[in-house]
Structure 1
């Protein structure tokens, strides 16, 4: 809740201003989705891997048309655990995104794009709560009605974590803790998402 009130709500309101200005002339697309996030690993200063567990993620995208594609915002949240490190980990992405779109058939559209923004992290292994992040994404949309489509999407999300980040680890005995340093430049996550898009 601290991250939600301190960062996400103010940034979401401010970032929506340009999109709101286009609402009178262009369609607005809202896409809630549920997905599964596959996480990579980080290395500590001893060269050992620190693994973030795979887990479900919950997303929403808000976009508008700008030829030949769309621009908008992407928000994603994941709650998971970290192996070798005590405590729960939460990742919340807020990205500005842009995509190019292609229509191979009347009811089917494909798209490919890139996103840029920040990741709000609430985890015991990180002294920082905000990482710079970016990503690539692509997917398919199948039109059910004039204002509703099914969306199948894949995303690669990369976080810059090289910043003298420290972690609290648990020793093999399970009774003692230790402090280690993260020595990775990037931490990657891969999402597969299924959602329903509504246009207004």
Structure 2
């Protein structure tokens, strides 16, 4: 709700710079939807299933002819299916760039790349930061006055590797001290979102 309020205020403040034929050079978008996560395997070959859960996000983009680029932030909180008391909060900060193609005067489709970091904060072990990248695609429909409504699918691939930070004995006969330790494991997550954007010029 706070994100919607902030976006509305910014839209009203900048509305004098937007015409019906010019959507503007900058865009602020808010996202809401569901995140679907793949299973992940630790360095001791334990497999965890993460619950699918909701997410919210926001992005700020610069629009150029037939494209855009900017930053995307998103947050979700999930839990281990077999251990529901074990929560994992995830935040994503990604630089993104996309190619835009008009379908007609009011409808655009886009396809883009992203690169950045995933911040993972479990409630049962120290937090950590991992490299992330991926693809995203979607469409936006012009509602008028600079507002656009759309839908988006986003794939985020996070490389889980904390060998450099955590000392771990991977011998299965020793006491399990590596229940959340990864060695170049790739976690794939898929975000399905509804989007609301506002474009403006400064």
The answer to whether the 8 A contact 2:158-2:187 is kept is: yes
Equivalent residue, structure 2, for 1:30: 28
Q: CA deviation at 1:33?
A: 1.3
Task: Name the Cα RMSD after superposition.
Answer: 2.2
Q: CA deviation at 1:67?
A: 2.9
Q: CA deviation at 1:146?
A: 3.6
By relative contact order (CA 8 Å, sep 6+), the higher-ranking structure is 2
1:105 aligns with 2:70: no
Equivalents in 1 of 2:92, 2:125: separation in Å? 16
The answer to whether the 8 A contact 1:156-1:190 is kept is: yes
Larger Rg computed on CA atoms: 2
Structure 1 segment 83-162 matched on structure 2, within 5 A:
83-85=81-83, 87-124=86-123, 127-162=126-161
The answer to whether the 8 A contact 1:54-1:80 is kept is: yes
Equivalent residue, structure 2, for 1:171: none
Q: How many residues align?
A: 166
The answer to whether the 8 A contact 1:37-1:189 is kept is: yes
> Normalising to structure 2: TM-score of the pair?
0.75
Equivalents in 1 of 2:124, 2:74: separation in Å? 20
Equivalents in 1 of 2:199, 2:43: separation in Å? 48
Q: CA deviation at 1:126?
A: 5.6
> Normalising to structure 1: TM-score of the pair?
0.75
Query: Could you list the runs of 5+ residues in structure 1 that have no partner in the other structure?
Result: 1-25, 167-176
